[in-house]
Amino acid sequence: MTRQFKWDSGLGLLGLLLLFVGSYIGLFVAPAERYMGETQRIMYVHVPCAWNAMLLYTLAFIFAIVSLWTHRPKWDAVTTAAVEVGIVLNALLLVQGSIWARATWGVWWDWDVRLTTSLIMVLLFAGVLALRSFVHDAGRRATWTAIATIVAFVDVPLVYFCVRWWRSLHQVQSTPDTVAPMMVVPLRINAFAILFLAIWMMAQRVRVELARRAQDQVAEPERIAPIGGSTNA
């Protein structure tokens, strides 16, 4: 193992630093919300997690198409990494949202359209990983991962637009016009912080995935397996 400094380590450190700065401003500099009070500060992690989870799933969708198109192991690894990190942020988002909901709406959970589609989103992408773990052959695993990712992506625009299309408990998106300027600052900083940390996590996962694949190939030379074929029966 060489100990050289990798580009993503720098990004990870920058993300950590920004998360510290953004959270400090969010907790101590930004004002408390006029009605929600201190509780509103959970927004500075909740909203960045939501943005980045949806961004990572969107990237996974694009990577999945490229993976199907080119069939290069690299794209399969990147797709999987984006799905995995997306799931982490999605799970965080649900937990943070639930805490915020208890303090604001008065309940931990409600089957409103935003909450339900967000829960379905994490389950769908967890399903992608489950499906992936069932497929032994690397070539087929890449194909099925990509197809499942593309289909699971359906829910992502739904999560975003559902509050505009249908009635819900969750409010519609805020804009810089509806948020006090001193609240926008920590929100933006933390959004980039979590984005950088997510890219850092993805880079680690891609490396692990490619290394694992290389190891598998040493142990058992990869056979070319067409879809639906039975060459490795």
Binding site for other proteins (CB under 8 A): 31-36, 40, 43, 65, 68-69, 71, 103-107, 110, 112-113, 143, 146-147, 150-151, 153-154, 157-158, 161, 163-169, 171-175, 178-180, 182-183, 226-227
Contact call for residues 193 and 16 (beta carbons, < 8 A): yes
Q: Which residues of 172-187 are buried (b: 16+ CB within 10 A; e: fewer)?
A: eeeeeeeeeeebebbb
Task: Choose between 143 and 201: whose C-beta lies nearer to other proteins.
Answer: 143
Please enumerate, as own/partner, the contacts of 205-210 that have beta carbons within 8 Å and a separation of 24 or more: 205/77, 205/80, 205/81, 205/84, 205/85, 206/74, 206/77, 206/78, 206/81, 209/76, 209/77, 209/80, 209/81, 210/73, 210/74, 210/77
Task: Choose between 59 and 201: whose C-beta lies nearer to other proteins.
Answer: 59
Q: Rounded to the nearest whole angstrom, what is the least distance from the CB of residue 24 to other proteins in the complex? A: 18
Selection from 200, 177, 186 nearest residue 48 by Cα: 186
Task: Choose between 57 and 196: whose C-beta lies nearer to other proteins.
Answer: 57
Contact call for residues 25 and 114 (beta carbons, < 8 A): no
Selection from 87, 227, 225 nearest residue 156 by Cα: 87
Task: Choose between 173 and 215: whose C-beta lies nearer to other proteins.
Answer: 173
Q: Rounded to the nearest whole angstrom, what is the least distance from the CB of residue 192 to other proteins in the complex? A: 19
Q: How far apart are CA 23 and CA 19, in angstroms?
A: 6
Q: Rounded to the nearest whole angstrom, what is the least distance from the CB of residue 29 to other proteins in the complex? A: 12
Q: Rounded to the nearest whole angstrom, what is the least distance from the CB of residue 23 to other proteins in the complex? A: 17
Contact call for residues 49 and 92 (beta carbons, < 8 A): yes
Q: Rounded to the nearest whole angstrom, what is the least distance from the CB of residue 70 to other proteins in the complex? A: 9
Task: Choose between 6 and 188: whose C-beta lies nearer to other proteins.
Answer: 188
Q: Which token pair is 52? A: 């980045």
Task: Choose between 40 and 118: whose C-beta lies nearer to other proteins.
Answer: 40
Q: Rounded to the nearest whole angstrom, what is the least distance from the CB of residue 4 to other proteins in the complex? A: 36
